[in-house]
């Protein structure tokens, strides 16, 4: 079964998929930015309690306080050994974003007023050989629509291509599970309290299936070509990634 996260890894670099499928792990340094992202993701799950209130800053500040006490329990494995000073710094960083978040929420329309039907539900499809967990399923007009929370940069317009494919994969899984047709999805840019809607397009459904097939071949042992724009400088597999590309890989 291919995971949606394998597809997002493939989009960063197909070779990362190769090494991960061979049991190597990409170790994540617990940087202040990484800690802030975890806090922001948890905070974004509470925006529905504040989006239409006058005292948004104090509501979110209270939620951030609660989350800072719970984050080590929620991300038990990831944050094992993190010290209080690092956590406190990350909380201050997120706290400094609350102004932007609150003004974004004020103009986010009624998205946060919709019913959040599920958080991180496991969706899988035997038919597609695909599984994954969107951050949320939002109930709109009796349909369950996937929404993903992003804690990194927000594009000037629309959503990033990788996010679009991730959302499409979740929409396909939700359609299978709930026997529905899903024509849109949402990306929540947590750092700005901003939500963008994306139309689920036919060519992106096709692309998800193509990438799924490529990931499957990689998991079966195929070493893909090193992409020209691969993020090698920040990649934990750099030291083991000197295998020469094969002629077959160049056509993959």
Q: Are 173 and 130 in contact (CB under 8 A)?
A: yes
Applying CB under 6 A, the site for ligand SF4 has a residue count of 11
Residue 238 in contact with ligand SF4, rule: CB under 6 A: yes
Residues 210-229 that bind ligand SF4 (CB under 6 A): 226
Number of neighbouring beta carbons within 10 Å of residue 21: 17
In the bound state with ligand SF4, the residue whose beta carbon lies nearer, of 16 and 38, is 16
| DSSP helix, strand, coil percent of the chain (3-state; round to 5) | 50, 15, 35
The whole-angstrom separation of Cα 50 and Cα 69 is: 20
Going by C-beta distance under 8 Å and a sequence separation of 6 or more, which residues neighbour residue 114?
A: 138, 139, 140
Q: Which residue has the tokens 């991180």?
A: 120
Q: How far is the CB of 18 from ligand SF4 (least distance, A)?
A: 7
**Position 249 contacts ligand SF4 (CB under 6 A):** no
231 binds ligand SF4 (CB under 6 A): yes
Using the rule CB under 6 A, is 252 a contact of ligand SF4? no
**143 touches ligand SF4 by CB under 6 A:** no
Q: Could you say whether residue 196 binds ligand SF4 (CB under 6 A)?
A: no
Q: By the 8 A CB rule, do 48 and 77 touch?
A: no
Between 6 and 135, name the residue whose CB sits nearer to ligand SF4.
6
Q: What kind and span of H or E run contains 210?
A: helix 202-219
Binder among 6, 7, 15, 194 for ligand SF4 (CB under 6 A): 15
**CA-to-CA distance for 176 and 123, rounded, in angstroms?**
9
Q: Is 16 in the site for ligand SF4 (CB under 6 A)?
A: yes
Place of tokens 């969706």: 123
Residue number with CB closer to ligand SF4 (128 or 252): 252
Among positions 75, 160, 178, 237, the unique one binding ligand SF4 when judged by CB under 6 A: 237
As a whole number of angstroms, the distance between CA 15 and CA 186 comes to 29
Residues 82-141 that bind ligand SF4 (CB under 6 A): none
Give the nearest distance from C-beta 230 to ligand SF4 in angstroms. 4
Cα 98 → chain centroid: 21
Contact positions toward ligand SF4, by CB under 6 A? 13, 15-16, 226, 230-232, 235, 237-238, 241
């Amino acid at each position: 079964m291919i995971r949606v996260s394998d597809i997002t890894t493939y989009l960063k670099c197909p070779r990362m998929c190769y090494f991960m499928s061979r049991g190597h792990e990409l170790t994540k340094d617990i940087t202040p930015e990484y800690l802030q992202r975890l806090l922001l993701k948890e905070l974004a799950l509470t925006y529905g309690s504040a989006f239409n209130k006058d005292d948004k800053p104090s509501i979110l500040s209270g939620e951030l306080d609660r989350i800072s006490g719970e984050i080590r329990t929620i991300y038990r494995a990831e944050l094992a050994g993190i010290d209080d000073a690092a956590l406190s710094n990350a909380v201050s960083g997120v706290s400094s974003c609350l102004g932007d978040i609150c003004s974004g929420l004020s103009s986010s329309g009624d998205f946060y007023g919709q019913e959040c039907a599920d958080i991180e539900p496991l969706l899988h499809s035997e038919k597609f050989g695909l599984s994954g967990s969107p951050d949320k399923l939002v109930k709109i007009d009796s349909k369950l629509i996937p929404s993903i929370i992003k804690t990194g940069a927000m594009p000037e317009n629309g959503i990033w291509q990788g996010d679009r494919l991730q959302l499409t994969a979740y929409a396909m899984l939700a359609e299978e599970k709930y026997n529905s047709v899903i024509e849109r999805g949402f990306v929540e840019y947590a750092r700005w309290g901003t939500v963008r809607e994306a139309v689920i397009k036919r060519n992106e459904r096709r692309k998800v299936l193509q990438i799924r097939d490529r990931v499957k071949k990689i998991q079966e042992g195929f070493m893909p070509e090193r992409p020209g724009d691969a993020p090698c400088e920040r990649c934990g597999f750099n030291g083991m990634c000197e295998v020469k590309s094969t002629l077959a890989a160049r056509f993959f």
